[in-house]
Amino acid sequence: MRFLVRMIRYGILGFGLHAVRRLMPGFALARDSRVTALSRRDIQQARASAAEYSIPHAFDAPADLCRSPEVDAIFVATADCSHLQDVLLAIECGKPVLCEKPMGMNSAECRQMVETAHRANLLLGVAQVFRFEHSIAAMRKRVAAGQIGAPVFARAEFSYPARSHPRKWLTNSKIAAGGPIADVGVHCVDALRYILNDEIVRVTASGRSDQDSGDVEAAGVLSLEFARGTLGSVLVSTRVEYRTPLEIVGETGTLRAEDGLSVDRPIELELRRAGSVVETETVSNGDAYALQVDTFTAAIEGRREFPAPGEEGWQNQEILGAAYRSLKGGKAEAVPLVAKNR
């Protein structure tokens, strides 16, 4: 069957640092997706950003953007606390919506988004961009092919220095879903779930705060138990240099990438056996953001499924919720499983 491919026009709600650093370079590489509108709280700033990036339409009211006949789909890139209202607004206006991670402030918000989208028969996706990395795809394929045997351990770290980060709201729990556990830990748990094609059923967490972390954590460690027996660990911090090592240890081998969750430089994936590197594969993830939006476009048009539907964002939020309960209560917490293909 042949599909007539058309360009899908996106409106970005919350055109800030992430849109400038990641989304717009991604759209520049995309084949079937382009940005035709943006919104910022200040109309003068919105118009300035639109002029800088040659975006035809600028708004200061999210509702005006969502209702625009020049917009086919919405990309929600606002602060965490605004995701629920923005996703529901997009759905109310009849637009499919791709929402940044973490999808909500808690799992109840995510459930509301998913169920509302289903009732409206509209596509809802979560922007877990690392599902579109070639390095993650290669690891998933190699694990599924049995190249390392049954996975025993799975490790991921995501750290970056944030004391002077432009997103000042990251330390405010009324605006952010959490500290680095929510901000980048969600990338780690999603990547491990995706590579292993398995679900996390129990989480134990510990963390620390400091004088600059507001009312959220500055660093955290998650111990994960997967349904098929793999044990995982996630380390996150906003106090050390940028690091994203990723490792899957199996009974007969190990897969490792020093910068496994990076889009900024080529990644060397190593397959190790008996203490030696037996194979290497170098991949680039520079087109991950473009693949994310073009895949969402293809899903809108019915040409393929989107690999990160809203249910995946909801499941990740259940894991984050369990982690924060463990952080507060000091004991392991079970993770509720979200029904798929609802």
Is 228 part of a structural domain of the chain? yes
Do 324 and 177 fall into the same domain?
A: yes
Q: pLDDT tens track of the chain, all 342 residues? A: 444 567 999 999 999 999 999 999 999 999 999 999 999 999 999 999 999 999 999 999 999 999 999 999 999 999 999 999 999 999 999 999 999 999 999 999 999 999 999 999 999 999 999 999 999 999 999 999 999 999 999 999 999 999 888 888 899 999 999 999 999 999 999 999 999 999 999 999 999 999 999 999 999 999 999 999 999 999 999 999 999 999 999 999 999 999 999 999 999 999 999 999 999 999 999 999 999 999 999 999 999 999 999 999 999 999 999 999 999 999 999 999 999 865
CA distance 236 to 279: 29
CATH code, domain with 215: 3.30.360.10
For 182, the token pair is 């929510």
Q: Is residue 113 part of a domain?
A: yes
CATH number at residue 48: 3.40.50.720
Q: What angle do CA 240, 245, 249 make, to 5 degrees?
A: 140
pLDDT for res 5: 60
| 14 and 119 co-located in one domain | yes
Q: Residues 57, 171: one domain?
A: no
Q: Are residues 239 and 184 in the same domain?
A: yes
CA distance 45 to 193: 39
Domain, as residue range, for 274: 130-285+318-334
Burial (CB count <10 Å: 0-12, 13-18, 19+), residue 148: buried
Domain assignment present for residue 1? The answer is: no
In a domain, 53, yes or no: yes
Looking at residue 126, its pLDDT comes to 98
Q: What is the pTM of this model?
A: 0.96
Q: How far apart are CA 338 and CA 316, in angstroms?
A: 10
Residues 233, 194: Cα–Cα separation, whole Å: 15
* Pair 106, 317: CB distance under 8 Å: yes
Contact 181, 207 (CB under 8 A): yes
Could you give the number of structural domains in the chain? Answer: 2
| 113 and 38 inside one domain | yes
Taking CB atoms within 8 Å and a gap of at least 24, the contacts of 271-276 are 271/142, 271/147, 271/148
Residue 290: strand, helix, or coil: helix
- For residue 238, the Cα-to-chain-centroid distance in whole angstroms is 17
CA distances from 134 to 157, 236, 254 (A): 18, 23, 18
Q: Give the number of other CB atoms < 10 A from CB of residue 145.
A: 8
Note whether residue 223 is domain-resident: yes
Q: Identify whether the C-beta of residue 217 lies closer than 8 Å to the C-beta of residue 158.
A: no
